[in-house]
Amino acid sequence: MALRNTISGRISGRGRRSMSSWWGSVEPAPKDPILGVTEAFLADPSPHKVNVGVGAYRDDNGKPVVLQCVREAERRIAGHSNMEYLPMGGSVKMIEETLKLAYGENSELIKDKRIAAVQSLSGTGACRLFADFQKRFRPDSQIYIPVPTWSNHHNIWRDAQVPQRTFHYYHPESKGLDFAGMMDDIRNAPSGSFFLLHACAHNPTGVDPSEEQWKEISYQFKVKGHFPFFDMAYQGFASGDPERDAKSIRIFLEDGHLIGIAQSYAKNMGLYGQRVGCLSVLCEDEKQAVAVKSQLQQLARPMYSNPPVHGALIVSTILGDPDLKKLWLKEVKVMADRIIGMRTALRENLEKLGSPLLWEHITKQIGMFCYSGMTPEQVDRLTDEFHIYMTRNGRISMAGVTTGNVGYLANAIHEVTKSA
Ligand code: PLA
C-alpha cells in the first residue's frame, strides 16, 4: 500500500501532464460544408425549417423514401440469406449487374473480362479507393478536378496525397458550361493527366456537357492521352433513364479510352445508408484486369477488409430479377420527374412574386441540384431569418423541395435576393 502510494506519488505529476497532452494539440475540425448543414438543421427547433442541403430524395410530403423494389428485395432476402463475409472485392453478382448499367447490357468489355471491379463503400468509397490506387501505382500523377465540384472530392484526393489541379467547368455569368475554358484546360494539361469527370447531373451545378460536347471532350482526351475517371453518383437522376445518363461514358468507350468509374446506389436506389457502390477500372486485357483487381482488394483489406453484404444483396436481388428491375426503372423515373416538377414550381413561384432576377437556370439545370447563384451572405439570411438550410455555395437540393414548401422557399429567396 505504502509502496504503491509512493510510486503513484512519484509519477502522478508527470503522468497527469502527459495524459492531458495526448490530444492537447487537436483543434476541432471545420464543419463539413454539406453534412454540417444537416447537423445545423437537426438542431433547429423551428417548425418551419426546411432542409435543402444534402442531396437526399424526399417524397412530396418531405419524407425519406424507401423504393418499393427495395422493400420487395428486403422481403425476399429476410430469413434466407446468411451474413457471412463477402470476398474482399465484394459481391460478384452485384458487380456483374452494376457493370452492365455503366458499360452497357451487352458490353464486349464485360464479356472479354477487361474490367477490374470491386464493390465499394458507395460512391465516396469508390472515389477514395481509386485515389489510393492512383497514388500507389502512379505516384507522381495529379488529378484535375472541375471548378466547382462536390466538396468531398477535394478531401478524398487530398487524403490520398494526390496533388490537385483544377479545370474550368462552370460559367457564372451564363450559369452554364464554360466549354471553351474546359477544352483549353484539357489541351494545356500535361499529356497523360488524370481528370475527374461527373458522368451526369454534375454536382453542384446541374450543368452537363451536351452529347456533341462530350464527343469533343473525348476526342481531346484521346489526343492528349488523358485518363478519364468518371464519378457517376446520379445515374438515372439526370434524365430519369439510367441508360441515357450513361451516354458520356459510352461515348468515351466507343472512342476506345481506358477509363475508371465510381458508381453509387445511394441516390438512384435510395440506398444512402447502406453504402453500396462499385469501383471499376477498364484495362487493356483480362490479365491486366486480374492484376488491377487484386491490387484494389489489397488496398481494401487493411482499410475495411470487405464491404457490407446487405446493400449488395438488395441490389443484386433487384437487378437480377426482370420484374423488380422494371419496377426500379419506373421508380427512378418518378423521382427524377418529381424533381423536374419542383424546378418548374420554384421558378414559377419566383416569377409570380415579381423577382427582378432571371431564374431560367432553375429549369435548365439537370439532376438533384440547382446552383442558384445566391451568395453565401444571402444563404446565411435564408438560414437565420427563414430557417432554410442549404450549402453556402447557393446550391439547392431540389430533392428536398415539395409542393408544401416550394412557396415558402420561393418567398424567402425573393426576400433575400430582390435588392441584389
Ligand atoms: N459523388 C458525388 C458527385 C456526390 O454528389 C456524392 C454525394 C457522392 C459522390 C457520394 O455519395 P455516396 O458515397 O453516398 O454514394 N453527395 C451528396 C451527399 C448527396 C454527400 O455530400 O455526401 C451531396 O449532398 O452532395
Q: Which DSSP string do the residues of 190-203 spell out, in sequence order?
A: PTT-EEEEESSS-T
Mutate to test the pocket of ligand 1, among 149, 150, 245 (most ligand atoms within 8 A of CB): 150
Ligand 1 geometric centre to CA of 166 (Å): 19
* pLDDT mean over 309-329: 98
Collapsed DSSP state (helix, strand, coil) of residue 20: helix
Instruction: Quote the pLDDT of residue 11.
Output: 53
Answer yes or no: do 169 and 288 share one domain.
Answer: yes
Mean pLDDT of 272-298: 98
Q: What is the mean predicted confidence (pLDDT) over 86-97?
A: 97
231 CA closest ligand 1 atom index: 1
23 is catalytic: no
One domain, residues 100 and 229: yes
How would residue 35 be classed by pLDDT, with cut points 50, 70 and 90? very high
Chosen domain end from 273, 295, 320: 320
Task: Using pLDDT thresholds of 50, 70 and 90, give the confidence band for residue 17.
Answer: low
Pair (165, 93) in one structural domain:
yes
Q: How far is the CA of 359 from the centre of ligand 1 (A)?
A: 25
pLDDT surpasses 90 at 337: yes
The reported pLDDT for the residue numbered 80 is: 83
Which percentage of the chain shows pLDDT scores above 70? 95
Q: Is 323 a catalytic residue?
A: no
**Is residue 206 domain-shared with residue 349, that is, in the same domain?**
no
Number of domains in the chain: 2
- Answer yes or no: do 308 and 366 share one domain: no
Pocket test for ligand 1, best of 152, 155, 366, 369 (most atoms within 8 A of CB): 152
Residue 67 C-alpha to ligand 1 middle, in angstroms?
19
Within 10 angstroms of residue 328's Cβ, the number of other Cβ atoms is 25
CA of 153 to the centre of ligand 1 (A): 9
Query: 298-305, long-range: CB within 8 Å, 24+ apart, which pairs?
Result: 299/129, 299/132, 299/133, 299/136, 300/88, 300/89, 300/118, 300/129, 301/88, 304/121, 305/85, 305/88
Ligand 1 midpoint to CA 123 (Å): 7
pLDDT at 5: 54
Residues recorded for the chain: 420
Domain boundary among 297, 320, 343: 320
Whether residue 324 has pLDDT greater than 60: yes
Mean pLDDT across the stretch 154-166?
Answer: 98
222-251 pLDDT, tens per residue?
A: 999 999 999 999 999 999 999 999 999 999
DSSP-based three-state secondary structure for 151: helix
Where do the DSSP E strands lie in 207-320? 227-232, 260-264, 277-282
Both 48 and 125 in one domain: the answer is no
* C-alpha grid cell, residue 234: 446520379
Give how far Cα 40 sits from Cα of 54, 313, 376, Å.
Answer: 12, 34, 16
Distance separating alpha carbons of residues 156 and 160, to the nearest angstrom: 6
The pLDDT value recorded for residue 12 is: 52
Same domain? 278 vs 376: no
**What grid cell was written down for 119?**
464493390
What percent of the residues of the chain are helix, what percent strand, and what percent coil, each to the nearest 5?
50, 15, 40
The CA distance from 346 to 400, in Å, is 12
- From 135, 175, 247, 267, the catalytic residue: 267
Please report the atom of ligand 1 found closest to the CA of residue 54: 24
Which atom of ligand 1 is least distant from the CA of 277? Answer: 15
Residues 105 and 194 in one domain: yes
Whether 39 is in a domain gets the answer yes
- Is residue 357 one of the residues assigned to a domain? yes
Task: Report the first-to-last Cα separation within the chain, whole angstroms.
Answer: 76
Is the residue at 372 inside a domain?
A: yes
Q: Among residues 178, 185, 208, 231, which one is catalytic?
A: 231
The strand ranges marked E within 326-390 are 369-371, 388-389
Q: Could you identify the atom of ligand 1 that is nearest to the CA of residue 264?
A: 15
CA of 390 to the centre of ligand 1 (A): 15
Place of cell 472515389: 127
Q: Which residue is closest in CA terms to ligand 1's atom 6?
A: 233
The whole-number pLDDT of residue 30 equals 93
CA 314 centroid distance within chain: 20
Assess whether pLDDT exceeds 90 at residue 142: yes
Calculate the alpha carbon distances from 233 to 123, 162, 384 in Å: 6, 21, 31
Query: Does a structural domain hold residue 5?
Result: no
- For residue 146, the surrounding DSSP H or E stretch is strand 143-147
Residue 123 domain-assigned (yes or no) = yes
Counting atoms of ligand 1 from 1, which one is nearest the CA of 126? 13
Residues 315 and 203 placed together within one structural domain of the fold: yes
- Output the domain CATH number for residue 299: 3.40.640.10
Q: Which residues line ligand 1 (CB under 6 A)?
A: 34, 54-55, 122-124, 150, 152, 198, 203, 231, 233, 264, 266, 272, 277
> Facing residues of 276 across strands?
none
CA separation, residue 347 to residues 70, 362, 367, 413 (Å)? 33, 6, 16, 11
Same domain, 268 and 377: no
Q: Which residues pair with 284 in a beta bridge?
A: none
pLDDT of residue 14: 52
Last residue of a domain, one of 276, 293, 320: 320
Query: Do both 303 and 392 map to the same domain?
Result: no
Name the pLDDT band for 81 (thresholds 50, 70, 90).
confident
Q: Which of 158, 151, 205, 213 is nearest to 182 (CA)?
A: 213
| Residue 63 known to be catalytic | no
The residue contributing the CA closest to ligand 1 atom 17 is 55
Contact yes or no for 328/67 (Cβ under 8 A): yes
Determine the structural domain holding residue 313 and report its residue range.
86-320
Q: What is the CATH number of the domain that holds 363?
A: 3.90.1150.10
pLDDT, position 1: 44
Q: How many CA atoms lie within 13 A of 131 on its CB side?
A: 25
Q: Looking at the domain assignment, is residue 117 inside a domain? A: yes
Q: Are 57 and 334 in contact (CB under 8 A)?
A: no
Does residue 244 lie in a domain region?
Answer: yes
Q: What pLDDT score was predicted for residue 105?
A: 96
Task: Return mean pLDDT, the chain.
Answer: 95
Q: What residue type is 185 in one-letter code?
A: D
Amino acid identity, residue 372?
S
Domain-located, residue 22: no
Atom of ligand 1 nearest to the CA of 202: 3
- CB of 282 closer than 8 Å to CB of 115: yes
Name the catalytic one among 132, 135, 150, 293. 150
* Residue 53 sits in the same domain as residue 118: no
Q: Are 31 and 374 in contact (CB under 8 A)?
A: no
